[in-house]
Structure 1
Amino acid sequence: MRNISDIIEGYLKEVIELEGQGHIEIKRNELAKQFACAPSQINYVINTRFTTEHGYYVESKRGGGGYIRILRVTIHSKKNLLDEMETQIGNAIAQTNAERIIFRLLEEDIITEREASIMKAALDRVTLQVALPLRDQLRARIMHAMLQTISFEK
């Protein structure tokens, strides 16, 4: 059974697709009422599932007439996407963020399911059994190497 976060995420993605404009504007309290949940649950979904790693940009305006706008970022080229991912990785990256990037590569049809599985296995904390922060730095170096290989191969 899906949890409320999965349901809210699915709903928002569906609305973005159905609107056809690549973005939506929502009012957090109204959406919370619609799903019978706390407004903080809406924040959680937006902050964890609509990130740049997932291919979204979020902007908000606070106050009585406030809104949250979620925009689906369209990539103009594979190179632009890979360059953006290189920037997001930086000198260190947590496993969760690395997996988000891998999922985005898969979602954009840049890598296959098998390649994604191999990448996740190579970057897993069980594989990289060194102490933090060295583990996140090592993961970043491996991710950079993988992205460079992808950009030359495809």
Structure 2
Amino acid sequence: MPLEEIPKPILYSTMTYLAYNINKRYYEGKHYLWCTPYFGVNIESPYFTVPPSSSPLEIYNNLKKDVDASDIHSSKIQLNRVGIRQGASINLRLGVINQEQHDDIVEISKLSDINLFRPLLCVIPKVEAIKYYKKVAIKDRANPLSHEYILSDLPESAFDIIRIG
């Protein structure tokens, strides 16, 4: 469903402190966010919202739990490290960053302490997101019925960041 047709006024996403700071430092404060209009999972609802693997609340809680436990084998943290490196490679190809910056980001992603992966909740007004979004292909969603969107180059001024507990 196009974002304009979603009745919810807010989108949610979770990112790590490290990803936020890399975006701020290397990508002029522009962010790449995978988001949904549903904060959490409502398994009681007959209307499908979002599965746990795409729920900003579940992602936040899992990252927080792994950081608090100093879980160096956390799959969420390993995926975030890989995602940061993939983002650097894409931005290098697009000419957003140069080779030296790319190499710095790769090294930062590999060497960063687990505490830099603490989660941040992003709260994005739909009206701010519309010009930056693309719909996630059904085959790439956590569930074919979920509403998931990608926001590319979203400026910091277009959303708020919240830390829970």
Question: TM-score, length-normalised on structure 2?
Answer: 0.25
The structure carrying a bigger strand percent of its residues is: 2
Higher relative contact order (CA 8 A, sep 6+): 2
Which structure's CA Rg is the greater one? 1
- TM-score for the superposition, normalised by structure 1: 0.26
Instruction: Please state which structure has a larger fraction of its residues in helix.
Output: 1
